[in-house]
Amino acid sequence: MIDLKNLTIEKAHKSLKSGEFTCRELVEAYLKVIKEKNGELNAYLEVYKNVLEQADVAQKKFKDGNATILTGIPFAIKDNILFEGQIASAGSKILENYTATYDATVIKKLKNAGAVIIGRTNMDEFAMGSSTQTSTYGVTKNPHDITRVPGGSSGGSAVAVAADMALVALGTETCGSVREPSAFCGLVGLKPTYGAVSREGIIAMGNSLDQVSPFGKKVEDVEIIFNALSKHDPLDSTSIPDELRDFKIKKQNSKRIGVPWHLFKEGVEDEVLENFKQSTEKLKDSGYEILDIELPYSKYSLAVYYIIMPAEVSTNLSRFDGIRYGFSIKGENLLEVYKKSRAQGFGKEARRRILLGTYVLSHGYYDAYYNKAVKVREKIRKEIMQTFEKVEFILTPTAPILPFKLGEKLDNPVAMYLCDIFSAPANLSGVPSIALPSGMSKDGLPFSLQFMASHFQENTLFDIGKKFETIR
Amino acid sequence: MNIKDVENLAELARIELTEEEKKEILSDMESILGYVKQIEEVKVEDVEANNEPYNVWREDVLEPRDFSPQLIKEQFPDSQDDFLKVKKIL
């Protein structure tokens, strides 16, 4: 029996290398758990048919002596990441039959490394949501309490890792879609610097915000995946050239953590705040300096996000028109084909955001909404960058609340959006942020906190994350 | 915002809505816009105008790509002789 609960990439690699178990045996152990649990949890939408062949390819790498750290490591991937020849539906009916025509850059990298991609995981439709309840393919349940949501939008990937149905997973973030489910499922989730990991082959939601983001049980796993994926990609015009990624770390500030206490005055559950305060005390005891910081513009992050993101969504999703991607509803004329296909192919939340985006970009409202939001975003970015001249990290709870009950917040969009109130500053300013488990509530639900650091300072996030794992 | 505005937006976004859906969208929009409206109070006069997204160009040169033409064609709901088939436009 392989101890999946405590398995890490490093441990698996050692065992695969020494022959303690084979790539096939490892993936079969996960397939067994999937068989037992996926019916109830609905983390995977599909387990790929070629999983065992992938494991054999990986095994050959070990035999031939060209295995690397990710060879044979079982991954789950979110349903919006293209894997050639496999369906990628983004949790939407409009893409139910869409088969990817090429590999996303991140998939190419995983394939080259010999990773084993088990299957695609459930998600909020087009990554729009914070609870994995808006997927056309049903809700995903939280393994800590199946009456509760796993967070979202990458809830399927989070649950796959949390319930030992994959060793690690990839999700995507536009605003907290990996950090918030990491929080709700007790995992580590990293939102990399914008432009660090290629977006080529990712079904876009908000192009100026999206990043592929890894899940793991431990910081070291997330670090290994990030290092494997963080490379310049000429196919993504927003990918940052490798030579621009090396910033000198200001060592003298490395123990300074800024906490914007004024942002938690309201809307944060008591238990969450209490856990957060305890965590800051533990950090203090370990020699970190906790400073009170003010982020007056970041207070508007979520409002800015809910203008910029729908604007980008309405543009991105215009390509799904019943003409090119499989799903199509017949009509009298072309316009009717568009309207009927989009009406029946998109769910409620996707339609809501498309219409909202159309509104904020429309004549007469563009300046008041979109243009203003772009300017406030710039203010937020500057404010965050100036803060990192004074402190090495910004620390907040990952989410203001604990995992909520299935069915909750679906009829109140703003209440749902508020789950990501602390996520928005990192996505809007492009800085990296890591979510870390910080204990369990009295009802057995995970707490989480998140650190942000300056652009391309992922290494400092991994360092403090590993430190926090020892003191939490 | 009123029902007419919702109808106009749905027309622009090419989405057919039922009467019931229009009412629901109207109420959702009002609550979301009510929330995002708070950015009105932010002063941004000193933000330079050059912070808008810009295009990144590349030379228009032929390069091999690993797209599968066969797979692309298979995604078309309707096709004829390797061409994507749509309703007539004019």
pLDDT tens for residues B35-87?
999 999 999 987 875 656 677 888 899 988 878 888 888 899 988 988 888 88
Q: DSSP labels for A73-126?
A: -EEEEETTB--TTSB--TT-GGGTTPBPSS--HHHHHHHHHT-EEEEEE--SGG
Q: Residue B39 and residue A304: Cβ atoms within 8 Å? A: yes
pTM: 0.96
A456 domain-assigned: no
Higher pLDDT pick, B47 / A193? A193
A156 domain-assigned: yes
A394 domain-assigned: no
Of B17, B31, B71, the CB nearest to A343: B17
Q: Residue A100: name the closest of B68, B65, B78 by CA.
A: B68
pLDDT tens for residues A323-364?
989 899 999 999 999 999 999 999 999 999 999 999 999 989
Of B33, B39, B56, the CB nearest to A372: B39
Q: Residue B29 and residue A355: Cβ atoms within 8 Å? A: yes
Residue A252 pLDDT: 57
A444 domain-assigned: no
pLDDT tens for residues A376-400?
999 999 999 999 999 999 999 999 9
User: In chain B, which residues have their Cβ closer than 8 Å to the Cβ of A95?
Assistant: none
Q: Residue B86 and residue A323: Cβ atoms within 8 Å? A: yes
Rounded to whole angstroms, the Cα distance separating A304 from A381 reads 12
User: In chain A, which residues have their Cβ closer than 8 Å to the Cβ of B78?
Assistant: 328
CATH of the domain at A184: 3.90.1300.10
Distances (CA, A) of B7 to A310, A393, B4: 18, 47, 5
User: In chain A, which residues have their Cβ closer than 8 Å to the Cβ of B75?
Assistant: 97-99, 101, 324-326
Higher pLDDT pick, A9 / B79? A9
Domains of chain B, earliest start first: 1-40 (1.10.20)
The residue in chain B having the minimum alpha-carbon distance to the alpha carbon of residue A334 is: B87
Q: Is the pLDDT of residue A109 over 80?
A: yes
Enclosing domain of residue A222: 4-244
- The domain total for chain A is 1
Residue B53 pLDDT: 66
A267 domain-assigned: no
Q: Which two tokens stand for residue A15?
A: 């065992």
User: In chain B, which residues have their Cβ closer than 8 Å to the Cβ of A237?
Assistant: 55-56, 58
pLDDT tens for residues A41-58?
999 999 999 999 999 999
Q: Is the pLDDT of residue A249 over 70?
A: no
Instruction: Report yes or no for ipTM above 0.85.
Output: yes
pLDDT tens for residues A126-145?
999 999 999 999 999 999 99
A350 domain-assigned: no
Q: What separation, in Å, do the N-terminal and C-terminal C-alpha atoms of chain A show? A: 29
Q: Rg of chain A's alpha carbons, rounded to an integer? A: 21
Residue A326 pLDDT: 87
Candidates A237, A305, A336, A351: best to mutate against B (most CBs of B within 10 A) is: A351
The pLDDT-based confidence of A437 (bands split at 50, 70, 90) is very high
The residue in chain B having the minimum alpha-carbon distance to the alpha carbon of residue A306 is: B36
A204 domain-assigned: yes
Residue type, A378: E
Distances (CA, A) of A48 to A31, A120, A153, A420: 11, 8, 21, 32
Q: Residue A202: name the closest of A110, A77, A320 by CA.
A: A77
A173 domain-assigned: yes
Q: Would you please indicate which residues of A are annotated as catalytic (active-site) residues?
A: 78, 153, 177
Is the CB of residue A454 less than 8 Å from the CB of residue A385? yes
